[in-house]
Amino acid sequence: IIPPDASRVALDHVVVAWKETREARRAIADAIPLLGKARRVTIATIVPEEEENSAQMGLEDIVGWLKGHHVKADSRVLTAAGRDTDMLADFLLEQQADLVVAGAYGHNRLREWVFGGMTADLLLSSGYSVLLSH
């Protein structure tokens, strides 16, 4: 998804919104050609404080896997404080992300429609390009 006012997809900074799901694994695999062209790649996840250490080890595995595909990436573990969607939006703005890569509909669509969720927020945002995979 590309914002209406964009003439191209910039790849200065790509952020992968990571969650340990099938959809996120598919999204990062689908994005490898774009990640390889990006100047900077950050894998970011949002977890409760007690899960930070295990999340960091998981992100290090992903960074290593990407290295095998000639993609240099760094990782960021964000401590959950409030709504994940708001935290991700703040992080993307802070990092000046050009493209967001994420898994879509990790929950069923009815639940997303009723309660909202990350996928809906990414679909409705217009500040950056988004690659979603399901």
- The domain ranges of the chain are 13-133
121 vs 29, which has greater pLDDT? 29
What's the mean per-residue pLDDT of the chain? 84
d(CA 134, CA 125): 18
pLDDT over threshold 70, residue 3:
no
Statement: residue 116 has pLDDT above 50? no
The first and second tokens of residue 1, run together, are: 């998804």
Q: Is the pTM for the entire model greater than 0.75?
A: yes
CATH fold for domain 13-133: Rossmann fold (3.40.50)
Q: Residue 14 is encoded by which pair of tokens?
A: 């790509």
> 12-48, pLDDT tens digit by residue?
999 999 988 888 999 999 999 999 999 999 999 999 9
Task: Assess whether pLDDT exceeds 90 at residue 62.
Answer: yes
Parallel/antiparallel/unpaired status of strands 13-17 and 40-47: parallel
